Each structure stands twice: as C-alpha cells, then as structure tokens.
Structure 1
Amino acid sequence: MSFSRRAISLCAAVTLSYGVISPAIAQAQDFNGIVDSVHTHAADDASAKMAPLGSYASGQLAESAAEIVAFHAGSKRILTVNALSGEIDVLDASNPQKPTKIGSVSAGADKEINSVTVREDGLAVAAVQQSNKVLQGEALFFDAAADDLGAAELGRVTIGALPDNVHITDDGAYALVANEGEPSNELDAAGTAYVADPAGSVSVITLPAPGTVEAATQADVRTAGFEAFDAPGALHEDIRIFGPVNHHNKPSLDLEPEYVASAKGKAFVTLQENNAIAIIDIASARVEKVVPAHIADHLQVPIDSSNKDDKAELRTIPVKGLSMPDSIHAFTSGGKTYFATANEGDAREWGVEEKDGGSGVYTDEVELADVIDNGQVCEGVLDDVEAEALGDKKVAGNLKLSNVSGWDEEKQCFDELYAYGSRSFSIYDEAGNVVFDSGSDFEEITASLNQPGVFHHNADNEDPDFDDRSDNKGPEPEALTIGHIGERTYAFIGAERVGGIFVYDVTDPANAKYQTYINNRDFTVDFDEDNYDSTKLAGDLGPEGLAFIDKQDSPNGEYLLVVGNEVSGTTTIYEVESVVEKEPSTSGSTKGSSNLSRSSLSSR
C-alpha cells in the first residue's frame, strides 16, 4: 500500500507534568478571559515564550465581533474589527492586563468592516464592505488618537468590491487594499452561472505625508487589476480558475485577493481560492506576476485525515494539499525580502440552496469516499486495495477534496487528489519560491498534547469535540504576523479551529525553527451561543487577526502580541519574552515531533 500511519505517542502525558500557566492576574470570582490552565508546548531549545496578560470581551459569540486587530503606539489604543456591529472597537490598552473599550468608529448602517490598520501618526484606514458585497467598497479614514471617536472619521474613497484586507507600507506612503471581488450568493435560474462576479483587484492609495492625519482623495486611488492575465496561457497551470458550468473562466474576474503585505516597494497578495500569490509593483500599481502557492505532498507530509478513528493519528496518503494561503506578512533577512503565509485552505460555495436538494448551489467540495465510490479516480492512481483502504472513514473517507483540481476533463476522472489547506505555514523568497514549510508540525504538536477532557486535538472553534476537524483542514492556520525581538525574527501563526498561537524563529528563513505553542482555551466548556455567561469560560475561540507590538511602543515596556478571536469575540494580549539570545541556526528545520517536549512557563 502507498500510504502509512504515524501514531503519535501519548506516553509523555503519563511521565511529564502538563504544560500550563496559572496567571497571577486570575481573579477567583470574576473571569477575566484567561483560563485557569493555559495549554503550552515548547521545543527543548526554545528561545521565546508567551503568557497571556489580559483580555477584552465584546460579549458576542460566533458573530465575528473581534477579527483583525491593530495597535497605535501614540495613544496606546488597540483597534479591533467588530464585523457584527460594522464598527471598529477602540480599546484603551495603557494597562495591558485590562484592555477597556473607550468607543468605536462606525462604517454606517448595513455596512461591514473587514480590516483595519494604522500609521504611526494615528491615520487609520478601514476596509468597508457594502451590504451587497458585489458593489464597490470603501476605504474609511479616521484618526485613531481622536479624543471624540464619534467624530474621528476623516473621509472615504471608493475602491473595489468586497475589500477584505488593508495594509500600510512601512514608509507610510501607501495604503494597499485587497478587494476580493467574490461572486454573488445567487446563481442564475439554470443554476449554471453566477448572477454577478466583480473583478478582484488591489487598490493602491497614495496617503498624505506622514504627520498629516487627513483622508486621501479619490484622485489618490489607483487600481491594480488582473486583466493582463486573461490571455490564454498567461497563468501557471496550477493556478485555479473555476466555477459553475457556465463560468466565464476569466482570471480578471476569478482571481480573489484575500490579504496583502509589502516590503521594499513590492506588494505580496494572497489569492486564496486560486491557490496563488500576486506580486505587485506599488509605485506603478501594476501586477507583475502571479505565482502558484505551495502544494503539500501527503505521501511525504503526514496528516490526520480521519475524524472517525477516535485517534490523534497522522498518516501518509496519496493526496496533495492545496495551501490556499490566507494571511501574509513580508519581512527582510540578510538584506533579502521574504514573505510568510498561513495556509488555511478554503472551498468555494455560492448559491441559494433549494428545497429540492440544492441544485442552485455551486460548490467545489467533495468527499474522498464519494470520489472512489463513483469510480472517478483515474486508472493507475490507486489500486483496488489502496482505494478500499483510503475510502474507509476511519482512514480518509470523509476527507474534503476539491472537485476541480486534479480533474482530467478528457478522461472524466481525477488523475490527482487535492485536499484543502496544507495545515502549515510557508516562507517564500521575493520571487515566490518556497524556501520553508512547517509540514506536519502543527498537527504533530497538538496530537502530542491530546488528552481527553484536557486538550482536544483538531477540535472545532465552537464545539470542543476531539478530532472533529481532522477530515477538513485540521487546525486551519489562518492568522499570521512577524515580530522582531532583539536580533531575532519570529513568526506567529494562529490556528483558527483548535485555537492557539504557534511561534517560529524565522531569522534564517530557510531554516525556520519551531519555538513554542500556547492556547488560552478550556476544552471542558461546551459552546452555547445563547448562554454567554457559561461559554465565555472557554477562553479564546477562533484566532483571526494578530498584531505584534515592539517593546519601545508597548504600554508596559515589553514585547506584546494582540490576538483578535472571532468566535469568542475576545481581544487578548500576550507578553512575548526572549528566553536566550543566540546566533541564527543553520542546522536545518525542526519538522517532526522528535525534538518537541512539553514545558511549563513560570507564572506571571
């Protein structure tokens, strides 16, 4: 057989004490957002550790009430996107152990804010989506340090449809907005085409000079589109352009920017559903190229592919993983530019579900067992024994696959099988070549922590059931940011489903090394969105956005990480500490579990 199982030994749970933090700031009667036992894990030679300091709770569950976060050093304020209310919640973080809401900035009735960022002088930019997502969006400018937040808005400009992420370049000269341009939720009467599909694009907005806290004008907005890639053969064959039967198949409409970062005059944009990354020259507002994103080979990189085997077990199987990156952050090392991505994965599903079984719905998702049972695997891809074993739900039968990638139209079968997400984070050089991927690290770490009633490997971000997400993107890494501590550079990656933050030393990008993992979650608490008082005791659910704070900007003089958690509606502040300063390692990556051990961080 061409696939094998890798069981994660849990004997360490018997011989080692469980890694927890008991925060000194915990209050006996009044829950402050920090759970009693914060789950931790660290490499033997970890050079950094984290501990939660304080948390703000919106009081809203499963409503995206705390998504993208930003920090303004001058006013010591955290900006948290509250998509439920269509506002930016402004938190006073002068005491990071007790962030407190002091006001909000509103997008207006029936509008949604998807992202926010802020310049050093306090000029903040928010990405505003219209109630009808196919209409053009807005970039909203406001003064993050305003005394009267109700009057903080400075103006707006019109940008592309469904602005999903906004970023300001390091020099403060430009705001860049990734306009996703998702299709309508409705299909035509025949159910074979979208009613509307606006173009995806990136808005390049020239900002007023730093120190001038004013709105840009419409004349300052330029658009980097993808029309040049509509020509046949203009895109790499691994880049996904797809949709319903009568889909237009035009890259300029189908490419969907998700997240944007920049360094040294270049913007790097994830095109998540397309499994691609765009590289843009900012000065000319021109897309220079579109490169395919990482694809994992799960014959080499094991995954936990079954949610029905009652085990935290990783296997190698003849399936590939489309990284389909979400968050992206650029950085420099040794004078060279790199960017890192959180490889979430994402199926495409649009259309109004109909009573007769949903013929009006388009989706590119299918289960592996159905592909095998329907005889849709091309001859030679699997032999009979492999097909029977792989289709077992206790192996990989429920694993979610794309029904687009790997499909041979001429043969009417799959010559390769592709799952969503690579369950990893990747580092690329400035040309778009992968120099590092974390492989199976995330799942191996959470599997090693698995302990019934204590920590649940591959749990969802709502119900904490063990193994629930193994068939569908696993831990689902989504949030990512980069921070510099002394002479070292670290990547922080948030796992949307099981929760928690993974930390890697990326000072030497090609030899990035796992450092530590921390999860402020109580897996014994059931999720009930109608019972906030009990559910809040679960802690942080669904990390969506991260912001790193340098110690020179920090309200307490220490390195901090701010995390927005969309399901729990909490904004939580962690302190990040360097354990030891040492020279960058060139000895190779730390894939696998052999060098991982549990450890306890000292109480704060």
Structure 2
Amino acid sequence: MIQKSLAVLAALFLIVGCDDIIDSGGGSEETVNEDPSTFKEIGTLTIGGTGAAEISAYDEISKKLFTVNNSSANKIDVIDLSDPSKPTLITSIDLAEYNGAANSVATSNGELAVALESKTSKQDLGKVVIFDTSNYALVKEVTVGALPDMITYSHNGRFILTANEGEPNDTYSQDPDGSVSIIDVASNYAVTTLTFGSFSGQLADLKSKGFRIASPTNNFAADIEPEYLTISSDSRTAWVTLQENNGIAKIDLATKKITQIFPLGYKDYNLAENALDINDKDGAVTFNTWKLKGMFQPDAISSFEVNNVQYVVTANEGDAREYSAFVDVRRINHSSVILDPTIFPNAATLKADASMGRLNINTKMGDIDGDGDFDELVGFGARSFSIWNGVTGQLVFDSKNDLDKKAQEFGVYDDGRSDDKSVEPEAVYVTKMGNKQILFVGLERADAFMVYDVSNPIAPKYLQTLKTGDAPEGLLFIPASKSPNKRSLVVVSSEGDGSIKIYQPELN
C-alpha cells in the first residue's frame, strides 16, 4: 500500500503541477546517442498461440510488460522485462470475474488500465478496470461506451481515454453509438462519454469530402466507429480515428468536447506514384495504375510536433463491413458489380481476373448518378501511412506505394493479400530519438515493421525494415530514459503466433 500511495501522490503531482511532463507514450528526452536506423532483435518470448499477444504496455516502476492474452482464458500476462534480452513470464491477471474481454491496455504512474468489452453482448456498455502494477490489486472499475477497442493515458497521467467502437450486432437490430470516454483520474475516475450526434448536420459537407456514413439505418451517431486514439504531448488535445467512416475526430480535453471531424478524402491509384498490385492469383507482384480510388480508413494514429506544429500520422489499413444485414464489399468480378459503359468502355476486360476482377471494392459507393451501375471504383484502405496537420486535418504526406515496394524488396510481401489491403499497415508510433522524430510502422500482413525519420514531415526518410512474429498487432516504444537497460526499445506483440519481440538500436 505504501508503494501505491507514493504512485498516487506522484500522479497528483503531475496532474496539478506539471501539465507538460511526457511519459513513455510519446517522445521523451534520450540519455544515449543511438542510431535509429540500426534496430535489431535482442529478445523474444512466446506466450501462447493465436490471440495470445495482442497489445502490450510497459510499466517503468515495476519494469513489467503487461500483454493482452485472448488465446484461451481471457487474461493479462505479466512479463518481467528487467533484462530485455530475456523477457520472462511471471504471472497472469485473470479477468474472468469482470465479465469482459480485454482489447487494450495502458500504464501510467504505477497503474494498469484495461479496456474490456462486455462478454454478455458487444453492444452493451464496456468497462475499464484499473490495477496496481506492483501487486495487481484492483484500484477502480468504471463504465465506458460500447466496445472499448483502445485505451491510453494522457502524458501527464490525468486522463484515461477509450475509443469505443460501438459495432452493431449481425442483424443491425442493435447498433450502439460510437463514442470516446474520458476518465478523469484526479476526480475519482469520473467518466465523460462523448458521442458524435451533434455533427449529423454536417453530413452533406463531410460526405462530399470523402467521409462515409453507410448502414441499414444510416444513423449518424451509431454509424461512427472510433478505432484508435493519440494525445498531444501537452495532454490538451486528442485525436481519434474513425476507421470505417474514413475520418479523424479532434477532441479538446480541457472542455471534454469533440471539436472537429476531419474527412480524409481519397487516394488516386491512377497516379504512377500510387501504382499497386491488385491480383492475388497471378503468381507475381506487379505494380500498375488503375482507374480506382482508395479510402484511407486509418487504424492506429500517433501524434508529434515539429517547429510548434502538431501533426498526426495514421496507419491506413482499411476495413469493410460484413454482417448478415449489411455487406459493403465485393470483388469487381462479381455479377452484381456493373460498370458504367461510358466511363468504363472496356468493362468486360476490366472485370476479368487477369485485370481488375480480383480486387475488393466498396459496393455502397461509386454509383454517383444513382442509375444502378458504378461510375467510379472505391477500395478499402490506402496501403500507406499518412501525415496530417493536426490543426487543419490537411494531408501533409502520404507514403504512396512505398510500404508495398519496400516489403517486396525485403522479401515479406504477401501476394495473397494483393486483392484486399496488401501489407495492411496496422500500427504507427512516433517518438523522439535524440533530435529526430522517428516513426515505426507495423505491417500486419507482411509480419514486419518499418522505421522512418519524419523530422521533416513533408519528406520522411526510410531507415530500415525488421521481421516480426506472425500478424503484429501492438507496437510499443520504450524510451531510453524509462527503459530497464537505459536503451531505447521497441516491443512488438504479434497475435498470430503469440510472440513478443524486443528490438534495440546500435549506439552511434
């Protein structure tokens, strides 16, 4: 209890007296001179099979890693990281009594926060359960929105935020509002849950700029599906990706209000710089241009600042909706996909498997004149990472087809995913190493992550590619100042094979 009391006092100090202190969630001062282009694997631990290593969080006080394990019994595995080259599983936190399934974890000031969706029904309200990282004792249990999919602490420790996806059931008879919950640590963990209904009057303008609302009910608030959060280094602003909707929302944490929705528009695959491979059956990786658009539809998001300008970077994974009551994805070769003969005079050729036929497109978009055929083709995801201005929402940089090409060069491109979302960028994380802003991009279908220098946001520089376990889901950076060995570490959790891998850079 003494250790817990000290942790609480430390948290209160941060909250009331030092708003700008940054924790391991985003860019901290480094104490060693490291080369961010020289990361290599130094340790690995396999904790189970499929679903055994989804998201991890590191606690500096106890030098422990906490990892969501949904392979069998729902639990949080606790891993001793005091020697990063020899991570050791020491115990597990059983979550059975909380009637929820863990989706995400976060740590701050000796606390572990776990986001749990309801096991009774994913459409019911979810919860956040908070534990003491030293003895795993329950600190607090609070109710949040439906299906909390991601959780994070603000850098000053004051707030815990959850992105509550609010997915419908299979028949759409229940479709809870998507939401963001803000938990005020200093106010006995009081919860404010924000929904998006107040923006419904902007729908026409948002849709004209690429925002997407589409479901059997077309209910604006329910159709919004928050996915992933990032918080500015001063703990005043949050951004949340609205993946299925092709947008980002901005939140003022002081007023606890959603202030803006940024529609993300489309990527033009008819440009040479965006050329892509769309055939998963031809036995080759060939990049070509096509009369095709792509929604960005980001999954993960991370924030950083350069020259007092706020930026956010997104992993443009893409996502379709496939329920018994609503399906928005089909291959172009499907009989229901009829191309406008004026816009696509070579429609029969394009629908062949050897051409565009294998590609998955959104069937609820593209009929611009409402006559039942497709006037344009829109795909899922942008197969890239993008950098956006955090204030205006304007696109600053897109990696075009660099992730696909670098994956092919490295020998990890999976041609079996060319028809869908290719390497599937899932995770992004930006941090400061020395005087550089370094970006890590996790590629779920390539089993790898890439490293870029984004110190100049309009012209990032590629640094390296590293192999991971199967289907990397979580990507965590531990700065040298908080690391157990005082060296920067990247921790990758891979849900496909239940492995955790740890990487460290060389010294300059």
Q: Give the shorter-chain TM-score range.
A: 0.7 to 0.9
In the other structure, the counterpart of 1:242 is 214
Does 2:193 align with 1:230?
Answer: no
1:293–1:325 Cα contact (<8 Å) kept:
no
Deviation for aligned residue 1:393: 1.6
In the other structure, the counterpart of 2:355 is 395
TM-score relative to the length of structure 1: 0.74
In the other structure, the counterpart of 1:412 is 372
| Residue-by-residue CA offset, 1:310-366 (whole Å, 9 max, x unaligned) | 112111111111111000111111111111110111111123xxxxxxxxx521111
In the other structure, the counterpart of 2:104 is 115
Matched pairs, number = 464
2:118 to 130, 134, 138: 130
In the other structure, the counterpart of 2:296 is 323
Residues 329 and 578 of structure 1, relative CA distance in 2, 3 Å threshold:
farther
1:280 to 233, 248, 251: 251
| Residue-by-residue CA offset, 1:484-536 (whole Å, 9 max, x unaligned) | 2100011101100111001110111111111111114xxxxxxxxxxxxxxxx
Distance 1:342 1:137 in 2: 25
- Give the RMSD, CA atoms, in angstroms: 1.7
1:559–1:577 Cα contact (<8 Å) kept:
no
| Residue-by-residue CA offset, 1:386-442 (whole Å, 9 max, x unaligned) | x34432323321111111122336222222111111110011111211101111001
Residues 134 and 235 of structure 1, relative CA distance in 2, 3 Å threshold:
farther
Does 2:147 align with 1:162?
Answer: yes
- The one-letter amino acid paired with 2:197 is E
SS where residue 489 of structure 2 aligns?
Answer: strand
Does 2:451 align with 1:486?
Answer: no
Does 2:242 align with 1:271?
Answer: yes
| Residue-by-residue CA offset, 1:565-586 (whole Å, 9 max, x unaligned) | 011111111113465xxxxxxx
Distance 2:403 2:476 in 1: 21
In the other structure, the counterpart of 1:383 is 345
In the other structure, the counterpart of 2:163 is 178
SS where residue 201 of structure 2 aligns?
Answer: coil
Residues 563 and 232 of structure 1, relative CA distance in 2, 3 Å threshold:
closer
In the other structure, the counterpart of 1:498 is 446
- The one-letter amino acid paired with 1:100 is T
Does 2:378 align with 1:438?
Answer: no
Does 2:222 align with 1:253?
Answer: yes
Does 2:130 align with 1:141?
Answer: yes
1:320–1:419 Cα contact (<8 Å) kept:
yes
Distance 2:337 2:81 in 1: 58
SS where residue 408 of structure 1 aligns?
Answer: coil
Deviation for aligned residue 1:97: 1.1
Deviation for aligned residue 1:257: 0.3
In the other structure, the counterpart of 2:333 is 369
1:167-206 equivalent positions in 2, closer than 5 A: 167-185=152-170, 187=171, 194-206=172-184
| Residue-by-residue CA offset, 1:56-115 (whole Å, 9 max, x unaligned) | 11122x2x2111111111211111111333222111001111111112223325521101
| Residue-by-residue CA offset, 1:540-597 (whole Å, 9 max, x unaligned) | 1000011101111112221110011011111111113465xxxxxxxxxxxxxxxxxx
In the other structure, the counterpart of 2:385 is 425
Does 2:263 align with 1:292?
Answer: yes
Residues 374 and 140 of structure 1, relative CA distance in 2, 3 Å threshold:
closer
- The one-letter amino acid paired with 2:339 is V
2:412–2:447 Cα contact (<8 Å) kept:
no
| Residue-by-residue CA offset, 1:241-285 (whole Å, 9 max, x unaligned) | 112xxx221211110000011114111000111111111111222
Residues 578 and 506 of structure 1, relative CA distance in 2, 3 Å threshold:
farther
Distance 2:94 2:376 in 1: 47
SS where residue 445 of structure 1 aligns?
Answer: helix
Which ranges of 4 or more aligned residues in structure 1 deviate by more than 3 Å? 232-235
1:107–1:128 Cα contact (<8 Å) kept:
no
Distance 2:204 2:252 in 1: 18
Residues 276 and 578 of structure 1, relative CA distance in 2, 3 Å threshold:
farther
State the percentage of identical aligned residues: 35
Unpaired segments ≥5 residues, structure 1: 1-45, 188-193, 210-215, 352-360, 450-454, 459-466, 521-539, 580-604
Distance 1:375 1:90 in 2: 49
SS where residue 458 of structure 2 aligns?
Answer: helix
1:208 to 186, 205, 212: 186
Distance 2:36 2:182 in 1: 38
Residues 249 and 578 of structure 1, relative CA distance in 2, 3 Å threshold:
farther
In the other structure, the counterpart of 2:323 is 350
Larger Rg: 1
